[in-house]
Amino acid sequence: MKNGDFRVILSSGEELILNEDEVVKYRLVKGKELSFETLDEVKEKVYLYEAYQKALRYITTYYKCTSEVYDYLIKKNYSKDIASDVCDMLKNNGLLNDDMYLEAYVSKLIGDGNGRLMISYKVKEKKLLGEYVIDEEMYFNTLSKLITSKLKVLKDKKKERLYRYLSSKGYTTDDISRALKGVNLE
């Protein structure tokens, strides 16, 4: 057990791990009897604290968005209310910020060679609702690198195959045409 945590054993033999604040709040001392209502409230706080700790461990590997943390907690069999409350707590503590996540995520997607359409799809898939701006210089630099590397391996029907490849990565025909200006496809 960590510092500041207390093991509370109920008369039923059930064990609860509470943090110091909860022990003080409910004035839990050996032999104290609790109403069923209070016991349910204490248990709810225990589950919330436990879920919060799991969420903290989950977001430390790499930055996550709210929907990822929420889905993770639901998969760990926490209720929707607990998952939602934990996400709110993380946001209030500055540990979860979908706007910052969205900005970093879009930059990563561009760097990974995804076009506008794929970026839009993947942002919606993560249930991110904020506005994002695509860094045009980075976007077209990445697109140019993709074109250069793909042209090295294409033997024939270069233009057709290149368009198909870039379209599959989510690039629009306008973006592809713009990037191909001045490129020799012979």
* Architecture, CATH, for domain 5-96: Orthogonal Bundle (1.10)
- Look at residue 89 and tell me whether its pLDDT is greater than 70: yes
The average pLDDT across 82-93 equals 96
More reliable by pLDDT, 19 or 178: 178
Chain segment 161-171, per-residue pLDDT in tens? 899 999 999 99
Name the pTM for this structure. Answer: 0.73
Name the residue ranges covered by the structural domains of the chain: 5-96, 99-180
Flag whether pLDDT at 109 surpasses 70.
yes
Provide the 10 A C-beta neighbour count for residue 151. Answer: 14
Both tokens of 115, joined, read: 């076009």
Return the pLDDT at 106: 96
pLDDT tens for each residue of 141-160: 999 999 989 988 888 788 88
Backbone angles phi, psi at 104, to 5 degrees: -65, -40
Residues 6+ apart with CB under 8 A from 6: 17, 18, 19, 20, 23, 28
Instruction: Kindly report the average pLDDT of the chain as a whole number.
Output: 88
- Distance between CA atoms of 83 and 73, rounded to whole angstroms? 6
Is residue 1 pLDDT above 60, yes or no? no
